[in-house]
Amino acid sequence: MKTKITLLTWMAVNNDPNALESLLKKLGQKYDVEKVIYLYQKEYAEKLEKAKPLSSAINPVEVNVKNPTAHKEIYEIIKREILPMVNDAPNLFINVSSGTPAMHSVWLILYAGGVFPDATRLISSQINRKTGGTTCDNVDFPIDTYLSELRRYEKENPKEAIYKPEYVKSDARKKALEQIRAYASIQGVPILLLGERGIGKSRLVESVVSKIKKKDVVSVACGTLDSNLAESAMFGHKKGSFTGATVDKKGYLGEADGKILFLDEIQDLPKGVQRKLLRTLQDKKHRYRIVGDDKESTADVELVCASNLTDSELRKKLDPDFYDRISFYRVVMPPLRECREDIETDWNEVWKTVRLDSSQKDAPMDKYLEKYFKTSKLSGNFRTLQSIAYQFIAWNGKKTIEEILKNLPADDSPNGTFDVGEFSEFQNLTWKEATKLFQQKLAEYSCGKYGTQEAAAQKLDCTSKTLQNAMKR
């Protein structure tokens, strides 16, 4: 029994329908061509009539390309209109030889980006004008790009919500991801990721950094390390080196040999371990000593550290020399409230990861949720979105989105206080001007914290009109 395939091809201007007929015959020797997605431009509709009798599998799709040499235009049309047609195709063949050179290039770009189904194959067909025969060759294009690695990871780990660089709109997130890409490509230099809780630092390391470096990750939550045994946990120990050491232990550093050692919550790593790890990092061979061992060991590790503290806070917590060594490449991941252009995409991705099979396929959205995303502080970042998603799943069909949002837990800042930012913005203002600015900030913060103007007004013991007027100032 022949394998069923789907063929995706542009209409060939010069040789059609002979080119398509020859290709179908060639493929038909090995495969059952179940469907042909046949892309054509309006001006070539007459040629289409000649191609229709060739096979009932042909599905003509008109593509409104104004300039067939414009890469960007072709790319956007294919991505927007054609990709949804082939996302579920189990055996997709793409003929890259028909169409303009720009069209050829777009197929290669998209394929390298990993957007097509896993089993997709690129082929090239050519008619021998002397013999009339047709060649059909595989196009070997094994390019492992950044995006393709991310796509593969996403397919392998469908429940993991990760950043999708190709959909990023906010400048703040673009900048951070560009820094990660640049820094992760450098071998042997530590990376420090800073960002609020729930921003997805672990996912970034395990999906993005890991794929760029092509190395597995050994993750350590420093906050869970016993202060008395932290050195043993990090560097390992020999049997009998201390009470309770009944067997040899490799330690996280040894486990991470040839891999990425990811130290999350780095501010919780004991000072003694920081200094010992610093000596290892400064050594060209990354030598260290296992507890109770009289010989030195080595570990070829790529170090990535993360913290939910600000840079100034982290400096105070860590050994100064250790901080300097791990912060050559420092990336601050912006919170969701600074990337509001991306929140709708984030929300859709989070919904995919948490929804049950019985839940609605598309993420819920209406004017109340749009307003919430525009005004809420979202202090939990992705975790806040996950919390909202789980509430929707629990109350699906029983409560409206407005009702669900009104009953969400207060979206507090990390310290539970109102953060007006730097007081420098109040400088050179009169008392009246500064008061108006503060009222505006308080109104915006409260509406974000409690979800709606009505809820915020109730908490502040004022009217919704008062808050409305304050935000207009």
Residue 143 has a pLDDT of 55
Does any domain span residue 324?
Answer: yes
Write out the residue range of the structural domain in which residue 47 sits: 3-138
Write the pLDDT tens digit of every residue in 44-58. Answer: 777 777 666 667 788
| pLDDT tens digits, 285-332 | 889 888 888 888 999 999 999 999 999 899 999 999 999 999 999 999
Residue 148 forms part of a structural domain: no
pLDDT digits (tens, 9 = 90+) for 129-170: 666 666 778 887 655 565 666 666 666 665 555 677 777 889
Residues 279 and 324 grouped into a single domain: yes
**Which residues, 6+ apart, have CB-to-CB distance to 144 below 8 Å?**
none
DSSP 91: S
Do 404 and 346 reside in the same domain of the chain? yes
pLDDT of residue 192 exceeding 60, the answer is yes
Specify burial of residue 293 (Cβ count, 10 A radius: 0-12, 13-18, 19+). middle
Say if residue 463 is in the same domain as residue 328. Answer: no
Please tell me whether residues 63 and 163 are part of one structural domain. no
User: What number is the average pLDDT over the span 185-200?
Assistant: 92
Instruction: Answer for the pair 304, 193: CB distance below 8 angstroms, yes or no.
Output: yes
Residues 73 and 219 in one domain: no
Residue with tokens 């919170």: 335
Q: How many helices (H) and strands (E) does the chain have?
A: 21, 13
Tell whether 327 and 452 lie within a shared domain: no
Q: Whole-angstrom Cα distance, residue 237 to residue 231?
A: 9
Q: Pairing between strand 121-127 and 134-138?
A: antiparallel
Residue for token pair 């309770």: 244
**Same domain as 351, residue 328:** no
Is 302 in the same domain as 188? yes
Contact 230, 343 (CB under 8 A): no
Comparing 135-139, 332-336, 382-386, the range with the smallest average pLDDT is 135-139
Question: In this structure, what CATH number is given to the domain that contains residue 212?
Answer: 3.40.50.300
* This prediction's pTM: 0.61
Identify the band that residue 412 occupies on the pLDDT scale cut at 50, 70 and 90. very low
Of the pLDDT bands very low, low, confident and very high (cuts 50, 70, 90), residue 449 is low
Q: Which of 17-26, 149-158, 456-465 has the lowest mean pLDDT?
A: 149-158
Which sign does the torsion angle of CA 179, 180, 185, 186 carry?
A: positive
Strand partners, 36: 7, 58
Task: Report the domain count for the chain.
Answer: 3
What would you report as the CA-atom Rg of the chain, rounded to the nearest whole angstrom? 29
Q: In this predicted model, which residue has the larger pLDDT, 54 or 181? A: 181
Let me know whether 67 and 130 are in one domain. yes
Give me the chain's average pLDDT, please.
82
Residues 133 and 108 occupy one common structural domain: yes
Cα–Cα distance for residue pair 357/318, rounded to 1 Å? 45
Q: Which of the four pLDDT bands, split at 50, 70 and 90, describes residue 422?
A: very low
Domain match, 300 and 384 both: no
| CATH for 41 | 3.40.50.10770
